[in-house]
Amino acid sequence: MMETILPGINNTIQRESRNPRSYNTNSDEDCDASEAEGKIKTRLMSMWNNMKYGWLVKMKTNFSKDSAVWLLGRCYHKRLEGDIDTGDAGGIEEFKLDFISRIWLTYRREFPHLNGSSFTSDCGWGCMLRSGQMLLAQALICHFLGRDWRWRAEVSASSQHRLFMEDSVHRRIIKWFGDSASRNSPLSLHALVSLGEESGKRPGDWYGPASVAHLLRQAVETASVENDHFEGIQVYVAQDCAIYIQDVMDLCEPKRGAHFVRDGNPSNEDASNAFSIGWKAVVILVPVRLGTEKLNSIYGPCLTAILTMDNCIGIIGGRPKHSLYFIGFQDDKLIHLDPHYCQEVVDVWEAGFPLHSFHCRSPRKMTLSRMDPSCCLGFYCRTREEFNRFVKNVKPFLVPPHQKGEYPMFVFCDGRSKDALSINKVTIPDDSLSSAVYHDSDDDLESEEFEILEFK
């Protein structure tokens, strides 16, 4: 019975959520009734969503004993025996701790209304925005805590002080993504949707990987104006699958010949004495399309090789119409964090707010061949030297095997993009012109092939 009723509920709610009536045009007399009706619809959709994506059942993900598991540049092996050359690989327990430590951002319900609309949940349409948030959260974890940081829910007495400081930073990062329109949450869903509105998007519209990459860049740029924590980090989005070296340098190099203010009066200083803030860390986002309707299989080895790099912060993409955040692999299966679990909103400004819903204990895997060809590759470089090493180390992974230098996923170019392009202003791509938009549809009801391992 439920299998018959719930799809109909889902379709009805999806239609109504995209109807112009979703915006608050009711009189004050109707507001309370409309809000109550909206909450009921949200809960029904949340219930159906969580059933559809398997969050109400427990399954087991099988990890091969004979193959390494890679997670954002770290190698793990289930069986550490003398006859297996695992190098610096850790065991499966270390993999579990690493996986759980990644910040998990999912659908939420009953958050403050989105920008003049009646939306109090992003269930059914916000999956790519959530995937982008997770990728950026990983970059911020690397920036403020380091790649080797691990979240430990239980703190031993001997390490309380150090872990207390780390917990403070950990919570601060999550607060930046809190589901509200607060200026103290500059990377929130509300903030991203607001930036999208400047380019013609509305709450409830769907996004592709390239659009989200530009939204993330704008969000960090906006945050840096009011929040000192963002002064030391920049976001660069590649244009037409090309990273322009000088553009990155311009973003990250110390500013010389700056204007100084002394006694209220601006003055120019000699360049050698000019103010220097030091090299800024950079998040590099590269939107790519690796095929037409389906992923071109020649790029499979390139994608998995990139996930073995220390600089990699993951890949946002998914399977058709279903966004995911890819963070690792074993053999031909990609390990991902899935944003399609609808949870209640958490007040991140409450003292000691609960953290468990921001960390996933259920890794999922998906066959690489099912990956949508449209995706966005993410990298993080803390220093100039690290950026130079990244440029050198990533190049062998960009060209598919046996292609003799042809058809790289992306390229590096000397100089600046404005010297090569006729337009200087980069706008958010129009997702309506592309098949690479990510949303939930009835197609998601097909056999998922997902596997779950619940960590205890």
Catalytic residue, from 98, 122, 127, 360: name it: 127
Between CA 328 and CA 324 the distance in angstroms is: 12
Given a contact cutoff of 8 angstroms between Cβ atoms, the answer to whether 67 and 331 are in contact is yes
Helix and strand tally (H, E) in the chain?
A: 11, 15
Amino acid, res. 438: Y
Phi, psi of 324 (to 5 degrees): -145, 160
Long-range CB contact pairs, 56-61, < 8 A, 24+: 58/452, 58/454, 59/450, 59/451, 59/452, 60/451, 60/452, 60/453, 60/454, 61/362, 61/363, 61/364, 61/365, 61/451, 61/452, 61/453
Residue 127 a catalytic site member: yes
Given a contact cutoff of 8 angstroms between Cβ atoms, the answer to whether 327 and 135 are in contact is no
**DSSP secondary structure string for all residues of 123-144:** TTT-HHHHHHHHHHHHHHHHHH
Catalytic residue, from 98, 179, 205, 338: name it: 338
Phi, psi of 184 (to 5 degrees): -80, -5
Burial of 56 (0-12, 13-18, 19+ CB in 10 A): exposed
Catalytic residue, from 143, 170, 340, 359: name it: 340
Catalytically annotated residues: 127, 338, 340
